[in-house]
Amino acid sequence: MISENTAIWDRQLIERYDLSGPRYTSYPTAPQFHEGFGEAALCQAIERSNAAGRPLSLYFHLPFCSTVCYYCACNKIITANRKRAMPYLERLITEVACQGALFDRSRPVHQLHWGGGTPTYISDDEKRLLMAATRKHFNLLDDDSGEYSIEIHPGDMDVSTISCLRDLGFNRLSMGVQDFDPTVQQAVNRFNSVEEVRALVEAGRADGFHSISMDLIYGLPHQTWDTFKRTLDSIIDLGPDRLSVFNYAHLPHLFKVQRQIDESALPSAAEKLLMMESITQMLLKAGYVYIGMDHFARPDDELAVAQRNGVLQRNFQGYSTHGGADLVAFGVSAISAIDNVFAQNHKQIEDYQTAIDSGHLPVARGFELSRDDLLRQMVIKQLICHFELNFADIEQQFGVVFTDYFAEELLQLRSMMDDGLVVLSPESLRVTPVGRLLIRRICMTFDAYINKSWPEIRYSKII
């Protein structure tokens, strides 16, 4: 394995390979989902899943936010009227009961995540109601060994809620900080102070949360490296266990709220490259490990340990320490990954609630993976999580000769080999320290759909 704390920045290569591409939280990616997939196909997948007896991962989408962040590309509902949450929660609990009846009750839930939106938008009593319903219909772990996480908005919750979350069984916090600079915050309508974040971090540690993660975004209006460095100094001082530093993708034609952002104030491509280069160097110097795909972690964090031990996984929630689980998702727009299918719920809350009220699972579209899809999925996951691919492992699992099956792809990698991004041997493909930052581009070589996508599909830039 390559040294864990290595990521070398080569500006010339970054500029050459910095194209748009998927983040590969799934393969095939969501644009391949289709409406021909329905409730019956999902139920059949659940039957196969029960026969296999794998553990479960649960995801809950809580779409409500009290204010809008102009950069946001999530499925969300902006309202200051918090009474709007209960009718949605009632449908969500009905979905939990309906899906729970289909799954073997003995299957343990190794991973649970509440995302949004702003999951902490709902009241503490409403949180207790949802978790109680989940515990009633699924086998939640009581020994604190699962990875149970929740996203929080530091500027939109009370510190006392931290204890409530811990009592409910959450043991990981994910905070969307983005940037502490007042000018940037004003430009994107997202506000949280260093003091607010520090209070939540201290409360989380006092209550025994296993891991605290923070999200930052670079490429926002009025950002420069000088301004962002001040934010990063504060973040390093706060000492989160994990960090995600995302590139802002400005796609106002796809996400209307982004039209509120002044394009003339966005940093140039050159400035963004400088920012990511400096961010990477600064975090590595501070002792963080580069996990991949804009993610960093402390060396003793479970994410870094899992990568060292060769068991790191990736799913719709990003990197994970718990693999081999079927993902069951609840709520508007949520995506399940069960056996060999992906299933996405309705994106519009009215359609979602109508389906629930009529006694149906709210499946809007999905995808059934072929053997080729599963093979390529495994290749891409291994490269993204471990930067190395052992051909014998793939050959044993899928009964193929790797170099024959992927002969065309290996030819396409020739220029990357010449540029020092990857090293090919008869037994393996290894991503070099220079290539780690371009792992998305390397994985695109094995994507059978990347050149067949519809013309209007747009992905974010790799860096």
pLDDT in tens, the chain (463 residues): 344 445 666 777 877 776 677 888 899 999 999 999 999 999 999 999 999 999 999 999 999 999 999 999 999 999 999 999 999 999 999 999 999 999 999 999 999 999 999 999 999 999 999 999 999 999 999 999 999 999 999 998 999 999 999 999 999 999 999 999 999 999 999 999 999 999 999 999 999 999 999 999 999 999 999 999 999 999 999 999 999 999 998 989 989 999 999 999 999 988 988 898 899 999 999 999 999 888 999 999 999 999 999 888 888 878 888 778 999 999 999 999 999 999 999 999 999 999 999 999 999 999 999 999 999 999 999 999 999 999 999 999 999 999 999 999 999 999 999 999 999 999 999 999 889 888 989 999 999 998 654 444 556 666 6
pLDDT of residue 455: 40
Tell me if the bond preceding 28 is cis, omega within 30° of 0.
yes
Closest CA to 315 of 381, 411, 389, 362: 381
pLDDT of residue 242: 97
pLDDT of residue 1: 37
| Distance from the Cα of residue 73 to its chain's centroid | 13
Question: Would you say the pTM of this structure is higher than 0.85?
Answer: yes
Distance, CA of 102 to CA of 111 (rounded, Å): 19
Q: Is-contact 193 180, C-beta < 8 A?
A: yes
Closest CA to 463 of 6, 66, 13: 13
pLDDT of residue 162: 98
pLDDT of residue 12: 78
Tokens read off for 144: 């604190």
* Other Cβ atoms closer than 10 A to 287: 12
Q: State which H helix or E strand residue 46 sits in.
A: helix 39-52
Q: What share of the chain is helix, strand, coil (3-state, %, to 5)?
A: 40, 20, 40
Distance, CA of 431 to CA of 443 (rounded, Å): 11
